[in-house]
């Protein structure tokens, strides 16, 4: 044997990225619209959806992406996750997510992702470090970005791919919801997903380089936050959790 054997066989990081981005993975994402339903109910004209998707890809998605990158770095440390790492990342994320409605939505998604992570990578220290950390009171799950970071640490997903996966997943979630909320040609929505991802591309290296919780981008979107808060109080008109 001239090549060292990998035992047990591990999938390539790119395969893990495809799995995580695949809507057929039962992670709970189908109940979310990545902010689209709150935006439309809040008055966003349908014609502005592509510009809104670009806006997300360059603001709130980068907060999530940076959170995942830093979580992956801390939880994937060669000596094992340092004590308090998860709490420090969650604290940084929550300070950058002023809307309680958006924090709740991210934790609901985190719960679904956590089930995936615990089932598929149950013994990895990065996944184990999520237990009992990152929650506050009844909201006892870390946000999705932190769980994604743990999965990235467990599977060797490179930071730049963590950023792209986060941006893509957000845009594709919105595009998928759009087909239910404002039915149109699905390929038009696919075009908008690619446009949003392209708009984030100049930010990928910067976000992928985040090392500490302080490094996580804080690019806010006040109108999105206002829509999310109003939507959380809306009981009758909504199809999606957030």
Partner 1 sequence: MRPGVAEPGAATVAAPGRTAAPTTTTVEVTRPGTPGGPVRVTSADGLLAVRTVSRGPDRAEVALVATGAVLLGGDHVVVRVRVGAGCALRITDVGGTVAYDADGVPSRWDVEIELDDDARLEWYGMPFVVCDGADVARSTTARLGPRAGLVLRETVVLGRHGERGGRVVVRSAVSDDTGPLLVEDVDVCGAAPVPGVLGGHRVLDTLSVLDGTDERAGSDRSWSSGALAGALPAGATTMHLECGGTVTRWLGDAAHLSPIERRLGAGPPFLEER
Residues that bind partner 1 (CB under 8 A): 35, 39, 44, 48, 51-52, 54-56, 59-60, 88, 91-92, 94-100, 103, 136, 217-227, 229-230
Shorter beta-carbon distance to partner 1: residue 155 or 173? 173
Shorter beta-carbon distance to partner 1: residue 124 or 203? 203
CB of 224 to partner 1, least distance (A): 4
Shorter beta-carbon distance to partner 1: residue 54 or 116? 54
Residues 62/210, Cβ–Cβ less than 8 Å: no
Residues 121/129, Cβ–Cβ less than 8 Å: no
CB of 34 to partner 1, least distance (A): 11
CB of 15 to partner 1, least distance (A): 33
How far is the C-alpha of 2 from the C-alpha of 43, rounded, in Å? 62
* Contacting residues for 56 by C-beta, under 8 A, at least 6 apart: 34, 35, 170, 171, 174, 196, 221, 224
Shorter beta-carbon distance to partner 1: residue 118 or 219? 219
Residue among 216, 217, 207 nearest 160 (CA): 207
Q: Count CB atoms within 10 A of the CB of residue 90.
A: 24
CB of 123 to partner 1, least distance (A): 31
């Amino acid at each position: 044997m001239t090549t060292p054997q990998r035992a047990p066989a591990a999938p390539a990081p790119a395969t893990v990225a495809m799995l995580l981005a695949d809507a057929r993975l039962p992670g709970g994402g189908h109940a979310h619209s990545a902010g689209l339903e709150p935006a439309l109910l809040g008055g966003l004209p349908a014609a502005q959806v592509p510009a809104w998707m670009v806006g997300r890809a360059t603001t709130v998605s980068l907060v999530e992406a940076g959170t995942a990158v830093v979580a992956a770095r801390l939880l994937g440390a060669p000596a094992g996750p340092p004590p308090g790492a998860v709490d420090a990342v969650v604290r940084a994320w929550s300070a950058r997510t002023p809307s309680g409605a958006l924090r709740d939505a991210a934790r609901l998604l985190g719960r679904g992702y956590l089930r995936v992570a615990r089932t598929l990578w149950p013994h990895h220290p990065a996944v184990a470090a999520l237990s009992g950390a990152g929650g506050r009171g009844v909201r006892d799950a870390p946000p999705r970005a932190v769980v994604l970071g743990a999965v990235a640490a467990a599977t060797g997903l490179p930071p730049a791919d963590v950023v792209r996966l986060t941006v893509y997943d957000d845009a594709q979630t919105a595009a998928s919801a759009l087909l239910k909320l404002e039915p149109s040609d699905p390929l038009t929505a696919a075009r908008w997903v690619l446009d949003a991802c392209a708009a984030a591309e100049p930010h990928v290296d910067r976000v992928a380089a985040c090392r500490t919780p302080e490094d996580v981008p804080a690019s806010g979107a006040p109108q999105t936050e206002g829509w999310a808060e109003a939507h959380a109080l809306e009981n009758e008109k909504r199809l999606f959790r957030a």
